[in-house]
Amino acid sequence: MTATAASSRAIAVPRTRQFVMGSLFVVLGLVLWFGFGAGMEAGQTTTFGLTPGGVATTLPDWVLSTRPSLLILALVCIFLGAVELVRGFGRMTNLALGLVAGFFVFGFLVWAAAGTSTNLGGLLNSSLDKAVPITLAALSGVLCERAGVVNIAIEGMMLMGAMMGSLIGSIAQNSMAGLVGALMAGGALGLFHGWLSIKYKTNQIVSGTVINIFALGMTSFISALFLQRQQELNHPPIFPTFAIPLLSKIPVIGPIAFLNNPFVYAMFVLLIVIHTALFFTRWGLRHRSVGEHPKAADTLGINVFRTRYVAVVLSGMMAGFAGAYYTLGSVGRFDEVMTAGRGFIGLAAMIFGNWTPFGAFGASLLFGFADALSSKLAILGIAIPSQFLLMTPYIATMVVLAGVVGRSQMPAADGVPYEKE
């Protein structure tokens, strides 16, 4: 009885989803056609600069005729929507959604920059920059939650990492020392989270809240007492930008991704390492099994508590690293509440990316792009308030979580304290 109910639901859900997605694609296509494309004059062009900052030689500007490009994009979207409605993409639906979203955003840019030029390279560059801390925060969440511990304290850990990174980096006048300090600070908070939520089985959200309040208070306290009064304590040397030899010569993508801050490279490496470790090693299998079914894992001789402790400490260190990006990577000083909710966006990116490293990275790029675009809109003179663009990450996450578009699959034992019998 339950089996049939479950299977009938399993069929029913994709149907509605197929319908919703198909309609969405078509609607987006129609918006591109009527909202953006139809109003354009015939001869108008859009110019995209392909010059990310910091490089002299570049590609020539990319000139598009606005109206035809928009209409083509619209047609492609409508076509994809029709296919989805009639046949359905099945497993490829998310890919199709990504494509349509990409086309739509591109079309929006083409429309917004009609008659003028906009620097696409710069936009992508700043999107990546803004995505870095979000990705790192999301990775922190992935590490923790895959082992079944909810971590909403990423924000607090980031703040602490940023503050300690700046403080220790300034005292030692060495950015590497600062980084180690940031990792230790984040790891210590992670350990505290583990101590409360694993040993004392405190509700993990309460424990995360404790850390958030604590970190916010502590960093502001130290900052007001020392960092602001003695500027030499808040002036760490930052990691210099360096170019990866061959890769940075690739047009457009090269300067964006491979002529950058070491944090960006570290992010790529960590993405690959964590993805491999989680899904292709024995360690990862154990790690995930603790998050999915701790009792079964325990029965098979995996130490659930130790695995979870390792997870929270690693997660804390990752968040500390994300915080260090601010003080040792980009800004070069600590300001109170400087992470400004990036930890929570990271949490959103993790959910949006379905608790996988690369999914989280994709979501972070998207969120970073929304952030970068919002500051661009004012320059282009578009009447959409930037705040609405800045809302999109949160709304998108809620939509994904509600299962309207896509399905989020969290680890089964996420947030459940483990009781050994």
Partner 1 sequence: MTKSKAKPKPKAETAKPGAVPKPDAARILLQELMSTPAEPPGAKRSWRRRAGRVVLVPALAVLSGLILGGVLIALTSQEVWQAFQVSVLQGIGSSFAVVFRAYAALFAGAFGNPVQMVVALQSGDPLAVRRAFNPILESMVAATPYIFAGLSVALAFRGGLFNIGAEGQIFVGAITATYVGYALVGLPMIVHLPLALAAGALGGALWGFIPGWLKARTGAHEVINTIMMNYIAFRLSDWLLTGPMMRPDSFNPVSPTIQTSAMLPRFFADPIRFHLGFFVALLVAYLVYWFLFRTTWGFNLRTAGSNPNAARYAGIKTGRWIFLTMSLAGALAGLAGTNEVLGVNHNLAMAFSSGYGFDSIALALLGRSHPLGVVLASLFFGTLRSGARRMQVVSGIPIDIISVIQAMILAFMAAPAIIRTIYRLRQPAEAGEEVLVRGWGG
Contact window for partner 1 (CB under 8 A) among 157-165, 169-177, 214-222, 318-326: 214-222
Listing DSSP states for 247-292 in one string gives GGGSTTHHHHHHEE-HHHHHHHHHHHHHHHHHHHSHHHHHHHHHHH
Eight-class DSSP state of 406 = S
381-410 residues labelled b (16+ CB within 10 A) or e (exposed)? ebeeebeebbebbeebbeebeeeeebebeb
Nearer to partner 1, 95 or 224 (CB): 224
- The CA distance from 315 to 137, in Å, is 9
Among positions 204, 234, 260, 307, the unique one binding partner 1 when judged by CB under 8 A = 204
Nearer to partner 1, 97 or 196 (CB): 196
Among positions 217, 231, 272, 273, the unique one binding partner 1 when judged by CB under 8 A = 217
Nearer to partner 1, 66 or 166 (CB): 166
218 binds partner 1 (CB under 8 A): yes
Could you tell me the maximum CA-CA distance found in the chain, to the nearest angstrom? Answer: 75
53 binds partner 1 (CB under 8 A): no
CB of 216 to partner 1, least distance (A): 6
Nearer to partner 1, 98 or 385 (CB): 385
212 binds partner 1 (CB under 8 A): yes
- The distance of Cα 324 from the centroid of its chain, to the nearest Å, equals 16
- The CA distance from 104 to 81, in Å, is 13
Please give the backbone phi and psi of residue 46, each rounded to the nearest 5 degrees, phi first: -120, 135
Nearer to partner 1, 249 or 333 (CB): 333
- The CA distance from 62 to 40, in Å, is 19
Q: Are strands 62-65 and 45-49 parallel, antiparallel or unpaired?
A: antiparallel
- The CA distance from 169 to 188, in Å, is 18
CB of 134 to partner 1, least distance (A): 13
Nearer to partner 1, 41 or 419 (CB): 419
324 binds partner 1 (CB under 8 A): no
262-284 residues labelled b (16+ CB within 10 A) or e (exposed)? bbbebbeebbeebbebbeeeeeb
Eight-class DSSP state of 421 = -
Among positions 54, 98, 115, 385, the unique one binding partner 1 when judged by CB under 8 A = 385
Among positions 65, 220, 248, 330, the unique one binding partner 1 when judged by CB under 8 A = 220
Nearer to partner 1, 10 or 56 (CB): 10
Q: Which amino acid does the sequence have at 118? A: T
CB of 246 to partner 1, least distance (A): 41
225 binds partner 1 (CB under 8 A): yes
216 binds partner 1 (CB under 8 A): yes
391 binds partner 1 (CB under 8 A): yes
CB of 206 to partner 1, least distance (A): 4
211 binds partner 1 (CB under 8 A): yes
Contact status, residue 327 vs residue 320, Cβ threshold 8 Å? no
Eight-class DSSP state of 329 = I
Query: What x/- string results for residues 328 through 367 when contact with partner 1 is judged by CB under 8 A?
Result: -------------x--xx-xx--x----------------
CB of 92 to partner 1, least distance (A): 24
134-154 residues labelled b (16+ CB within 10 A) or e (exposed)? bbbbbbbbbbbbbbbbbbbbb
Residue 118's SS3 state is strand
CB of 130 to partner 1, least distance (A): 15
CB of 345 to partner 1, least distance (A): 8
CA dihedral of 183, 188, 193, 196, whole degrees rounded to 10: 170
Among positions 59, 224, 272, 378, the unique one binding partner 1 when judged by CB under 8 A = 224
Q: Is the dihedral of CA 391, 394, 400, 403 positive or negative?
A: negative
CB of 311 to partner 1, least distance (A): 15
CB of 217 to partner 1, least distance (A): 3
Q: Which residues bind partner 1 (CB under 8 A)?
A: 150, 152, 196, 200, 202-207, 209-214, 216-218, 220-222, 224-226, 341, 344-345, 347-348, 351, 385, 387-388, 390-391, 394-395, 397-398, 401-403, 410, 412-416
